[in-house]
Amino acid sequence: MAHQLFIAGQWRDAEGGATFEVENPATGETLATVADASVADGRAALDAAVAAQADWARTAPRDRGEILRRAFEIITDRADELAEQMTAEMGKPVSESKAEIAYGAEFFRWFAEESVRIAGRHSVAPNGATRLLTLKQPVGPCLMITPWNFPLAMGTRKIGPAIAAGCTMVVKPASLTPLTMLSLGEILTEAGLPDGVLNIVTTKSTGKVMEPIIRDPRLRKLTFTGSTEVGRSLIEQAAEGVLRVSMELGGNAPFLVFEDADLEKAVDGAMLAKMRNIGEACTAANRFIVHESLAEEFATRFAKRMEQAEVGPLVEAKQRDKVAELVDDAKQHGATVLTGGEVPDGAGYHYPPTVLTGVPREARVWCEEIFGPVAPIFTFSDDDEALRMANDTEYGLVAYAFTQSYSRAIKVYEGLETGMVGINQGVVSNPAAPFGGMKASGFGREGGDEGIEEYLETKYVGLAP
């Protein structure tokens, strides 16, 4: 497997042979050594994307779609191999890695089908004097910065629509988990992607290497998945070139359990919403807001299920330390630990599934994204209070609500200030649906019919008859 930079269809060392180490979070030991790109390497990657753009934009939509379809099939065939690699570099159980492989591959299949459905329109001006023609064209070279928590899927849902739309790209995977993206580069090459369409730059110096690319006038789009803090900085940089920007940023997802909820289904949903990816997901339920009449029973059932959960390590020591700090802060504010709550002995960056009750809203877990297997439970007394609590955050990515009332469900999903809502289900992510948030959780959508629009410009032509 390649551990080098991928630029203009060639695997090559970083300038000066610079490298960095990738850890196995289960043991803390070095898993691989990967090329550490310089500013010049980043510029070379953009050069390659720019040089390939015109020819790639002229490629037939069906041909672009067939490349994605072949890549989907290769990923599916190699799911076991890719899952083992993902688990080694990221830490999630192999079963969850396999689920991500299947989910991530679906973005390639979805956008393979969307590539041939890019369409404009033709109409007559109201006064009849002109014909109005609109067409869609690729936005141009893109920079994609992907996170560590879903090493394949966060790449495929950006790369898929870019390929389908006819855009070239530079991809910068997270330095904690770069190996899966490098394997994806090999797969796309095998599937027939032309040289220069996809360029992969691995580096530990993300800001230093990426900022010159963002400020280069040849770049036309920036897409980022990661923290709101970093996203704000990138948006400022992108403003100089007036780039097309899409941002999928932090979350603080509320999980609402109303008094008429099916409690068993609510607990099932809570396990999915909290424990997918060991809680290291922007869509993870962060605040469990439960009606006071159900809170004690819900907490007891939930804690029992959490004790039985299969989990791997968190991605690095820094992340585990943050989770432990948040739990300790909640305990200092009077929260009760039903299960978990202590850093275990032994190698790796493990933290046990944890349920907290009696958590006051002064605790940091109310307003900070946990990104770990910790579930703080809060209570409410009526529907209006539940909605106020749910919306009491700068974030607005996703929310979950469990109720058997049709009218209540409508009131809740219309009132929630989030880009996505799950009603009686703990997972909302689907390649056929638009993924994205509002407020400080970002803007733009990935997946669904909307996903390819992020990579297309609309051009209007006035035709004299």
DSSP single-letter state for residue 205: -
| CA–CA dist 160, 64 (Å, integer) | 10
| CA–CA dist 103, 97 (Å, integer) | 10
Distance of CA 300 to the CA centre of its chain: 31
What are the φ and ψ backbone dihedral angles of 394, each rounded to 5 degrees? -75, -15
| CA–CA dist 207, 209 (Å, integer) | 6
Residues in the chain: 465
CA nearest neighbour of 315 among 272, 275, 372, 248: 372
Active-site position among 23, 100, 114, 248: 248
Amino acid at 63: D
The encoded tokens of residue 375 equal 């579930």
Report the first-to-last Cα separation within the chain, whole angstroms: 58
8 Å CB contact between 169 and 156: no
Q: In what order do the strands lie in the sheet with 169-172?
A: 10-12, 5-7, 198-200, 169-172, 142-145, 221-225, 244-248, 442-443
Taking each helix axis from N to C terminus, what angle separates 153-165 and 61-77, rounded to the nearest 10 degrees? 160
Distance of CA 254 to the CA centre of its chain: 18
Q: What SS3 state is found at 158?
A: helix
What are the φ and ψ backbone dihedral angles of 273, each rounded to 5 degrees? -70, -30
| CA–CA dist 107, 113 (Å, integer) | 10
| CA–CA dist 450, 138 (Å, integer) | 14
What are the φ and ψ backbone dihedral angles of 420, each rounded to 5 degrees? -140, 150
Residue 248 is a catalytic residue = yes
Catalytic machinery residues: 248
